[in-house]
Structure 1
Amino acid sequence: MDKLRRIEALFARPGSEGERVAAERARERIQARLAQLASEEPPVEFRFSLADQWSRHLFVALMRRYGITPYRYRGQRRTTVMARLSRSFVNETLWPEFLELQQTLTAYFDTLTDRVIEQALEVKAGEAEERPPAPQLEPVDHQLDIAALGGEFGRS
């Protein structure tokens, strides 16, 4: 939680006037770099596919923070985010910062999820224990053949 607050203080909403000014100057430097790269290296359309809504929300917010307009075309999946950017900006600034923020956000969500589960169910959360493979296990098919049961579910 503290690490997330530090990142938020650095990138999103600084507390003191000095921190606000420093964050604004950093954002202005990045936007100036973006403009410089756009004149040197024409922007190309990028398609980003993000696995979950949290990553997508974070990525879209990060782009908007730098004055980039994210979009998607009608018919594209919600996991898709499009943007016109210079390749250098994506490789050197946007994607590395996103990965760092995503890693921190994921760790925060993992910790929060475990804490909520442990408080609500009063048991230890986390992964199942890993054991060595049992000798000579035959694969078991647990699929239910509805037709073999002689009916359909949901019929009255």
Structure 2
Amino acid sequence: MSEFSKLIEKLKLIEALYSGATTPGERSAAENARQRIRKKIEQHKEMDPPLEYKFSLQNMWSRKLFVALLRRYNVKPYRYYRQRHTTVMANVSKTFVDKTLWPQFLELDKELTAHINDTAEKIINEAVFGDSSEAEEIRAIAHEG
């Protein structure tokens, strides 16, 4: 199994965890769970009304992942004119953000970031130079004057 396939499988397992599936049979029902989450969001709009959230994500891949996750749950990501590219706005309930969206994003982002970092490290070591460790820290020479 390739590293890419392993990452996809890991991300699917994390998704399955958040939608309540833990076995391969349950994973096939993950789409139903996702639909239930979408319905719950709609049903709880009165009790837990959507608020406008502003998320700032500096890493391009984290931002793409977050936007995809919002769209998965039928939440429309946007940003206002003149807002930075790092900003993602969304109208969602506090409960959904606290219990589903943000914890799931953090876990998926951790795996994705680790994979991207490992891949970049391998490419740099193999294609550029074998030592990509941090630069040595030296003490500055004191200036006399």
Specify every segment of 5 or more residues in structure 2 that has no aligned partner in the other structure, as ranges.
17-23
Aligned to 1:70: 77
Counterpart in the other structure of 2:9: 6
Between 1 and 2, higher relative CO (CA 8 Å, sep ≥ 6) is seen in 2
Q: Can you give the 5+ residue segments of structure 1 that lack an aligned partner in the other structure?
A: 140-156
Q: Does 1:22 align with 2:26?
A: no
1:3 and 1:104 in contact (8 A); partners too: no
Which of 130, 135, 142 is the equivalent residue of 1:138? 142
Q: Supply the RMSD in Å over aligned alpha carbons.
A: 2.5
Q: Counterpart of 1:63 in structure 2: which amino acid?
A: L
Distance 1:63 1:56 in 2: 11
The answer as to 2:40 corresponding to 1:33 is yes
Aligned equivalent of 1:58, options 40, 50, 65:
65
2:101 counterpart residue number: 94
Check whether the contact 2:71–2:77 (CA below 8 A) recurs between aligned residues: yes
- Partners of 2:95 and 2:102 in 1: CA distance: 10
> Is contact 1:59–1:98 with CA below 8 Å preserved after alignment?
yes
Count of residues in correspondence between the two structures: 132
Tell me the percent identity: 47
Judge conservation of contact 2:53–2:91 (CA < 8 Å) in 1: yes
Which whole-Å CA distance do the structure 2 matches of 1:26 and 1:59 have between them?
19
Which of 51-60 and 27-36 deviates more?
A: 27-36
1:40 match: secondary structure: coil
